[in-house]
Every structure is written in structure tokens, then in C-alpha cells.
Amino acid sequence: MARTVRDANLETRAARLRLPIRSEPYWRGLEKGFALGYRRRGRGGTWLARRRQADGGYAEHRIGTTDDLQDADGVAVLDYGQAQRAARDWWRTESRREEGHDTREGPFTVQDVIDDYLKAYERRGGKALYEARRAAETHILPALGSVAVAKLTTRKITDWHHGLAEKRARARTKPGRRQNYRKAETGPDAIRKRRATANRILTVLKAALNHAWKADHVASDDSWRRVKPFRAVETARVRYLSETESVRLVNACEPTFRNLVRGGLLTGCRYSELTTMHVEDFNADAGVVIVRESKAGKPRHVVLTVEGQHLFRTLTAGKLGTDPIFARPDGGAWRKSHQLRPMLAACERFISRASTHAWFHARHARRADGRHCRTARPRRHADDGKALRTSCTIVCRRHDPSPFPHTRHCGR
């Protein structure tokens, strides 16, 4: 933080009130070509900032009202130190604009921040672009889209964040219809789930604001860096599938879906990793399969059990190296969300109580009662020669799809 420049005539309210009233401001230089000004009026005064531009002229900007007649609040009414900080923020913003870092006309709003972030996220190949855009369009932009980032305070973000946790969960609504909401739930678990949702949406907003700050569009990240998420809300009920339950899950799957489930249980790979595997990724001599497109973006190899090697040999026999290992009955590849319905049908047959997602990340599956469930990647035991000797972490949640890339839902 910059040092406050002292000035005996401007520092205190009493000293300023002794100055003669005049239209010309009293200036105090803060940096070379940059000064803070005080214009004395009969009913209070005004803080100003002035900077020298590249063409040699001066640009002036009104900072706020002085605390001559009322106490400072740090927003509309500023004391001497607060006025210096506000002037420096304006000076840095205008300097970056002059140097070409930000060429927009008018205030830089949260709408601009979200637009820039989503474009950058798409360019770098983000895997949850749709979910991040939906979170912004549904929860962030209606409340904060028109707010200038320079005026985005910690209090404003905190109030918005807490307001999200107090709202009822949204329900699926037909286009053009009035938004539907789920029935209000009570109890500690209901509060936890709404707070967890609010945290995930806050993470999207913070990611967008941090992107703008790193790109030199924003002078400081202090206002949102001090906003803290709700604590102890990402708790999950975890247990492991036994060998018998693993066999039951496989048997509950449709024949066309069964190999994909077996592949997940025997490798511990995610759904997206399994569906992008090709025959050439399986090394029968070494008994390993290569995961080229992982969630972290780094390739890795998985050592297969005896049962896993047998499965992959069966699925790759007679195929070309570029063919997918796990193909749909029509020969096409499994795509995003293709696994939802067959997995839910298998879960209905597998478990008589609340439905459960499978080991892979099914994004938006929902039962008739609105329950969302998810299972994380399985943890494979050492090779003991037995089929499906695998444990799978199951995480059951109610209406908690965790769609954003910043959430933690893998148990590895």
C-alpha cells in the first residue's frame, strides 16, 4: 500500500475549514504528474484527482465528497487518506488505459469481466464452459452485471453470495415460462446444500474477476479477495462398493452399457477418459492402458489387473488402432451425457432406495423426486486374479450436481 502523503492544510477537517472559499482547488502532489485536489465550497468540499496526459494536458476527476460536514463512510464521503487511495486507483486505471491495456469506453462492468473470462476459458479448452456460462447468466449477471468493477465492494459481493444461499433451489422450467422453484427444505442438510451451491457460483465470479485483474483491466483484487466462502459445506457421505455390489452393478447394466461400466471399475478412469480411449492406447504385452486425455491435461498410464487385461483384449481384438475401445451398439462413440439414462436405469435396479450416480461424473441426472447423486472414481485394489475386486467411492447428494471445474468431487 502506498504511503499517505502528509499535508497540514488538507489532512484534518479543522485545517480545511480554515482555508478561504474559492473555485480553484488546493492541490497536493502525490506523484510526478499526479495530484490530489480539494475544492472548498460554502457547504462542504469535494476531492479531485489530476494527472498529466501524454499530450501534455491535464485530466481531472471527481473522487468524492469530503468529510467537512459529516463523518467519512469510505464510499461517498471520504477523509484525506481515503481520498488518496481512491485517487491512486483512478490514476492507475487511467494510466493502463493510456498505455493500451484497456481500450473500452465507459466503465468496466461485471458483464465485461464475465464475457472476457468465458472467451478465454473457451480458448484454453475449458471442459465446463456450458455450466460456467449458465451460472453466470442465471445467478451473476442479473444481480451484478451492470455494476462497475471499480465500485464492486466486499460488502456487495458478500450480500449477493449470502443471498444465493437463502434462495430456494431452481427447478427445470420451459422456455418463456415463469421460473419454477423446488419446495423449500428445512434442516441443517438443506442449509448446507444451498451454501455449497452458493460457493460454487462465487467461485465462477472470483475466477472471472481474477482473470480481469491479471489482464490489467482492474486496479486491485482486494474487494473480492476478502470474500470468504461458507465453510464445511462440501461434506459427502462416502462408502465403498464391495465385490458383491460391484458384480450386482455390472449385472444391473444393459448389455450395451456393461463393458463401459466394467472398464470403469477395473481401471478407475473417468467416463470422459474411457470414451476417448482407442485400441492403440492398450498395450497387451505390458498390461497397461494409456489415458491420453485426462482431466488435468496430463497423460498417464493405468496398470490393469488380470481381469482388466482380459476385458481389454476382448474389446480390442480385430479392431484398428484408431477405433474406440468402448463403442456404442451403432459403432459410434459415447458422448457427453450419453451415459445418464443407462446409468440411472442400472441404479434403479441396483439400489432400492434413493438413486445413485455411477463412478463417473454424470452431470445433470435427476430422479422424479429431484435427487442428485454422484460417485467418484473407483480405487482399484492390487491384482488378486478375481473379477471386479474393486472398491468404488459413492457420494450421494440431493440436488448437488457440482458442474463447475473448480469444485472438488473426486476421491482419489
Q: In total, how many domains does the chain have?
A: 3
- Name the domain boundary from 47, 70, 98: 98
**Three cell numbers at 252?**
444391473
Q: 324: which strand partners?
A: 278
Predicted local confidence at residue 371, as pLDDT: 45
* Cα-based torsion angle of the residue sequence 198, 204, 208, 213 in order, rounded to the nearest 10 degrees: 60
The residue type of 259 is: N
pTM recorded for the entire structure: 0.56
User: Which residues span the domain enclosing 170?
Assistant: 110-225
Please indicate, yes or no, whether residues 129 and 193 belong to a single structural domain of this protein.
Answer: yes
**Does residue 412 belong to any structural domain of this protein?**
no
Q: What cell was used for 48?
A: 479531485
Task: Kindly state whether residues 270 and 375 are assigned to the same domain.
Answer: yes
Q: Tell me, what's the pLDDT at 111?
A: 94
Residue 194 pLDDT more than 50?
yes
Same domain, 260 and 213: no
In a domain, residue 31? The reply is yes
Instruction: Say whether pLDDT at 387 is over 50.
Output: no
pLDDT digits (tens, 9 = 90+) for 79-96: 999 999 999 888 887 887
- Residue among 305, 308, 272 at smallest CA distance from 291: 272
* Distance from chain centroid for Cα 99: 31
Q: Where are the alpha helices (DSSP H) in 187-339?
A: 188-214, 222-225, 243-252, 255-267, 271-275, 306-316
Higher pLDDT, 287 or 107: 287
Residue 404 lies in a domain: no
C-alpha cell at 234: 462440501
Give the model confidence (pLDDT) of 301-321 as tens digits: 999 999 999 999 999 998 999
Same domain, 171 and 299: no
Give the up-direction half-sphere exposure of residue 228: CA atoms within 13 A in the CB hemisphere.
4
Residue 392 inside a domain? The answer is yes
Rounded to the nearest integer, the mean pLDDT of the chain is: 81
Domain match, 130 and 90 both: no
pLDDT, position 235: 66
Q: 120 with 61, same domain?
A: no
Read off the CATH number of the domain in which 185 is found.
Answer: 1.10.150.130
Q: Which residue has the higher pLDDT, 150 or 203?
A: 203
Report the distance separating Cα 117 and Cα 255, nearest Å: 43
Last residue of a domain, one of 182, 201, 225: 225
Q: What is the DSSP string of 261-274?
A: HHHHHHH---HHHH
Looking at residue 348, what is its pLDDT? 83
Q: Same domain, yes or no, for 244 and 291?
A: yes
What is the mean pLDDT of the segment spanning 98-119?
Answer: 81
Whole-number Å distance between alpha carbons of 110 and 210: 12
Domain boundary among 203, 225, 247: 225
In this prediction, what percent of the chain has a pLDDT beyond 70? 82
Same domain, residue pair 249 and 367 = yes
Using only C-alpha atoms, the chain has a radius of gyration, in whole angstroms, of: 29
256 and 318 together in one domain: yes
Residue type (1 letter), 372:
H
Instruction: Please report the pLDDT score of residue 237 as a whole number.
Output: 61
Confidence of residue 388 (pLDDT cuts 50, 70, 90): very low
pLDDT of the residue at 187? 85
316 domain-assigned: yes
Whether 17 and 72 map to the same domain: the answer is: yes
Same domain, 345 and 246: yes
pLDDT, tens only, 112-144: 999 999 999 999 888 888 899 999 999 999 999
Looking at residue 94, which CATH number applies to its domain?
Answer: 3.30.160
